[in-house]
Amino acid sequence: MATYKDGDRVRVAVTHPPGHRRVPTYIRGKTGEIERYCGAFPNPEELAYGFDGHPDRPLYRVRFMQKDIWSDYDGPEGDTLDLEIQEHWLSPA
């Protein structure tokens, strides 16, 4: 059961745990909006070390305004970036 709905504002955690993480550093701490719920998938953070990745973790596509990611973004205000973030990396913004 997904916690977030389309359009919810969410913030990506600022944390740098060791191990295999699929959250790029450039997006940690940034705030965006849920674009869609993608479904639940085995956790790659566990799969990478030979575990079965269960329980499956909810995954969302989150949309960010480029100007909210990069302080030096040199492009129009409407430019965006979408990427997939697991629920446990998100908190309500």
Partner 1 sequence: MADDRETTDPKEMYHPHVHEEGKLLNWSDDSEHDQNDTGHYELMAEALRELLIEKGVVTADEIRANLEFMDSRGVHLGARVVAKAWADPEYKKRLMADGTKAVGELDIPMGDVELVVVENTDDVHNIIVCTLCSCYPRTILGLPPDWYKSRSYRSRVVNEPRAVLREFGTEIAEHVAVRVHDSNADMRYLVLPARPDGTDRWSEERLAELVTRDCLVGVSTAKSPAG
The residues of the shown chain that bind partner 1, judged by CB under 8 A, are: 22-24, 26, 38-39, 41, 44, 59, 61, 66, 70, 73-76, 78-86
Q: Considering the complex, state which of residue 1 and residue 72 has its C-beta at the smaller distance from partner 1.
A: 72
Least distance from C-beta 55 to partner 1, angstroms? 15
Least distance from C-beta 69 to partner 1, angstroms? 8
Which residues fall within 8 angstroms of residue 27, CB to CB, at 6 or more apart?
12, 64, 69, 83, 85
Least distance from C-beta 73 to partner 1, angstroms? 7
Q: Number of C-alpha atoms within 13 angstroms, CB side, residue 17?
A: 10
Q: What is the dihedral of CA 32, 38, 44, 46, to 10 degrees?
A: 100
